[in-house]
Structures are given as structure tokens and as C-alpha cells.
């Protein structure tokens, strides 16, 4: 993940981050299903998506604690 991606996540509102989190969670489930079926060869995508989910979750918790 590029540094600019992290900065763009910090500039988004909580509702936008929640939408992004939902999309990434759905994408992760679909990717795991593809890997289980054998149609997805690039398993590194799982790690990347999990990292993004963790980053967004952390930002949401920081925002919640600030208020």
C-alpha cells in the first residue's frame, strides 16, 4: 500500500470508511472462495486486503475515541 493511499483513507469521513470496509470484507470473502476453488492463484491479495481492513478499522477506532 502506498503512502498516498493511507493519507487518502485519513481524509475520508467515517461513513465513507464504513462503506469501504464493507466492500473490502465482501471482496475478502469472495477471494477466499476463489482460492478454495482453485481459480485464484495470487494468494498475496488476501494479505493486502486484510491490511487495508485493519488500517480502516484502526482509523475508525481513533476517530471514535477522539469524539
**pLDDT band at residue 45 using 50, 70 and 90 as cut-offs:** very high
Averaged pLDDT of the chain: 92
Region 39-57: mean pLDDT is: 94
Three-state secondary structure readout of the chain: CCHHHHHHHHHCCHHHHHHHHHHHHHHHHHHHHHHHHCCCCCCHHHHHHHHHHHHHHHHHHHHHHHC
| Residue 14: per-residue pLDDT | 93
11-41, pLDDT tens digit by residue?
Answer: 999 999 999 999 999 999 999 999 999 999 9
pTM for the predicted model, two decimal places = 0.89
Amino acid at each position: 500500500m502506498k503512502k498516498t493511499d493511507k493519507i487518502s483513507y485519513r481524509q475520508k469521513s467515517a461513513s465513507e470508511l464504513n462503506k469501504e470496509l464493507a466492500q473490502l470484507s465482501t471482496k475478502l470473502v469472495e477471494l477466499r472462495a476463489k482460492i478454495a476453488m482453485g481459480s485464484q492463484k495470487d494468494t498475496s491479495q488476501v494479505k493486502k486486503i486484510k491490511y487495508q481492513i485493519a488500517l480502516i478499522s484502526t482509523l475508525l477506532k481513533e476517530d471514535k475515541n477522539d469524539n
